[in-house]
Amino acid sequence: AQSRVKRLAKLTPIETTIEASVSPFLLPSPARPLAPPLIRLENVEVGYGDDPAILRDLNLRLDVDDRIGLLGVNGAGKSTFAKMIAGALEVRSGEVSRSPRIEVGWFHQHQIEALDPEQTPLDIMREARPTDSDQSHRSRLAQFGIHFDKQGTKVEALSGGERARLLLNMVAMAAPHLLILDEPTNHLDIDSRRALLDALNSYEGAVILITHDRSLMELVADRLWLAADNQIVPFDGDMDDYARFVIERAKGGTSAPSQSAAKEKRSKGKKKKTK
């Protein structure tokens, strides 16, 4: 034992690695809540050009404090729905009622690809807020986690995580009443995902979340909607129920619940609680 102690004493101490702190996401809550509903859809159909409808018969309501998790396989129309709710895609038919003062922040993964590779974060901030001073731009970027040495770096030299962090913070910069996040964690590491979760749980506006990150979905969403069979309907279940639905669906067994069926199921649930 004494011999082992002497050998250990001669070893070079290994310094503990101190992890760099992760900057929080800034998702400011809207200053004034709007009267409900934020958005109401009645018999809405949406698609692209002369192609068949991507989504039809949409009858949904979004309120000021809703946290909606949008489920569905790739190609089911989730991103099309997000685009329509964000106001970037006109509906073919039906009625979309929006609160006249609603501000929407919309993040989608294609924004990262669409960034000008020759621009810098400072250039992007100057375009977004042309009346602010350079000192204000730099301060805000530092709060986003884009520190001084990266602020003048071209976008093409930034990592995917740095680009995602920049865009996520910028879409929320105006304190929107509704945040639409389409695959926000694709380029984020574990610590940044946790920081985003904390920010979302502190944010007091409405959220529509599209993600393959199950833990984020479970910890953020209060209600689930399902995109399937060219419709989006409330999904009365949790993520385990959805996993079973996908498996059964792949076997050719389970069809997506209709909006009338979902409404009927919720109505029965309310009657049981009343009894």
Predicted pLDDT of residue 252 = 78
Q: For residue 136, give the 3-state DSSP assignment.
A: helix
pLDDT value at 255 more than 80? no
Q: Is the pLDDT of residue 265 over 90?
A: no
Q: 3-state class of 10 per DSSP?
A: helix
Q: What is the mean pLDDT of residues 155-164?
A: 92
Residues 6 or more apart whose CB falls under 8 angstroms from that of 173 comprise: 26, 28, 105, 128, 140
Report pLDDT for 249.
Answer: 87
Please give the share of the chain, as a percent, with pLDDT higher than 90: 72
pLDDT averaged over every residue in the chain? 87
Task: Give the model's pLDDT for residue 81.
Answer: 97
Place of tokens 């059964």: 248
Q: Which of 5-9, 70-74, 233-237 has the lowest mean pLDDT?
A: 5-9
- CA atoms of 27 and 175, how far apart (whole Å): 7
What string of DSSP letters covers 31-57? SSPPPSPSEEEEEEEE-STTSPPSEEE
User: Which of 164-168, 251-255, 271-275 comes out lowest in average pLDDT?
Assistant: 271-275
In SS3 terms, 81-131 reads as HHHHHCCCCCCCEEEEEECCCCCEEEEECHHHHHCCCCCCHHHHHHHHCCC
Cis peptide before 37 (omega within 30 of 0): yes
Q: What is the pLDDT of residue 11?
A: 65
Q: What share of the chain is helix, strand, coil (3-state, %, to 5)?
A: 40, 20, 40
Architecture of domain 35-102+177-275: 3-Layer(aba) Sandwich (3.40)
> pLDDT tens digits for 13-33?
654 433 456 788 999 999 888
Q: Residue 56: pLDDT band by 50, 70, 90 thresholds?
A: very high
What is the model's pLDDT at position 23? 82
Give yes or no for residue 131 having a pLDDT over 70: yes
Nearest Cα neighbor of 83 from 223, 180, 174, 183 is 180
Taking residues 28-43, report their average pLDDT.
Answer: 92
Q: What is the mean pLDDT of residues 81-101?
A: 95
Token readout for 80 is: 């099309």
- Domain residue ranges in the chain: 35-102+177-275, 111-176
Instruction: Pick the more confident residue, 172 or 20.
Output: 172
Confidence of residue 70 (pLDDT cuts 50, 70, 90): very high
